[in-house]
Amino acid sequence: MKRFLLLTFVLVFGAGLSAQSFFGGLIAGGTMSQVGGDTRGGYHKLGLVGGAFAGLNLTEDVDVQMELKYIQKGSYSTDMETWPFFDPFLIKLDYIDLPVVFSYNLNKINVNDINLGWLKLEAGVSLDVLVNYRQEIMGVEVLASNPWNRFVFNTVVGARVSVKENIEIGLRAVNSMTSICESSKYIYSNGNVLYIRRLLPYYGMFNDILQIAVFWKI
């Protein structure tokens, strides 16, 4: 953890000072999330995201940006018609989120004589640190079947649109690549969860979120 933070700060702040193209600002927005492996689908859990970012211009078209955010994730379902065999269900997971994201400005691309310099595509990775959690069934708090993992690694893809010189609106899809709870070598099910598998050869549960946020450079 400490090595990750040190390396990221050296990348962002050290290079930024030498290139003299440092920038920073604030982030605020909302999230819609689901948990892969909880037997329910749909981005029904609403949450908030907020924090700060700092970065640098690597080239005229490419930026790298580090962020420090508080973000709410999880799963929520009360639709008994869609899920008649499952109880109303809530997973609430709050994290400190540490993304490193590269963005590419499309200012050299024209479509029908319209320059796309107002659009950026972005991709990166992030580390989540769990700070708060709660699970409910039928409105009653219950202990998770398996302990929640404190650290989770994610992939980040998205796009940002410039609406003013110092304001951008961004939409991102963030998907965890490591399990948010204790993983298993085998498929695990207890009626409310059914573990799935992603990149690693282990089964578990995974956060999937859609984030929309305002990026304000100051």
What pLDDT, on the 0 to 100 scale, is given for residue 106?
A: 92
Q: Nearest 5°: phi and psi at 17?
A: -65, -40
Length of the chain counted residue by residue:
218
pLDDT tens figures, 136-182: 876 666 766 668 999 999 999 999 999 998 999 999 999 999 999 98
Containing domain of residue 8, as a range?
2-217
Give the number of domains in the chain. 1
**Mean pLDDT (the chain, rounded):** 85
Tell me the CATH number at 12. Answer: 2.40.160.20
pLDDT reported for residue 15 = 46
Closest-CA residue to 35 (of 45, 22, 25, 27): 45
Q: What is the pLDDT of residues 60-119, one digit of tens each?
A: 899 999 999 999 999 988 755 454 445 577 889 999 999 999 999 998 888 888 888 899
pTM of the model: 0.82
Average pLDDT over residues 182-194: 74
